[in-house]
Amino acid sequence: MTNENFKVGPNVQTFVEHVMQGFEWAEIDSAPYKPNFCNRLTDNAPGFVICTRPYDDDSKIHCFEDGVVGLHAEYGTVLQITESNPASMAAIAAISVILTNQATGKALAVNASKEEN
């Protein structure tokens, strides 16, 4: 999934490529998950948004250069993208949440806390 008119950084692009490849390999139509490019409200940073459950806008996650963020404020930035946890690993966590039909923030928060320990 690319958009010539919307420039994202390398972490977001890697995340997008990996997540969308997961849909392709699993032979799942990504359209019900509403993948799209977005901007962060606080600083207008370019990113990517996708639902973790089909047609469920309350399950959105957003990927920006610095991490993956759940929709619900209580989870905040739940999975940082760092040298030790690259965008490819964040994408694996996200596609795992999607394929197992988990709620967005809590599942990623659990993965993030495992990374910190």
Q: Is 76 helix (H, G, I), strand (E, B) or coil?
A: coil
pLDDT, residue 74, reads 55
At 49-99, the pLDDT tens digits run 999 889 988 888 899 999 998 755 555 567 889 999 999 999 998 898 888
Q: Kindly give, in sequence order, each residue whose CB lies less than 8 Å from that of residue 33, ignoring residues fewer than 6 positions away.
A: 23, 50, 51, 52, 53, 54, 98
pLDDT, residue 99, reads 87
Residue 112 one-letter amino acid? A
Q: Which of 10, 5, 66 is nearest to 36 (CA)?
A: 5
Instruction: Indicate the DSSP class of residue 100.
Output: T
Strands of 36-39's sheet, edge to edge?
36-39, 46-51, 60-64, 67-70, 77-80
pTM as predicted: 0.83
Question: Which of the pair, 80 or 103, is modelled with greater confidence?
Answer: 80
pLDDT, residue 29, reads 97
pLDDT exceeds cutoff 60 at 105: no
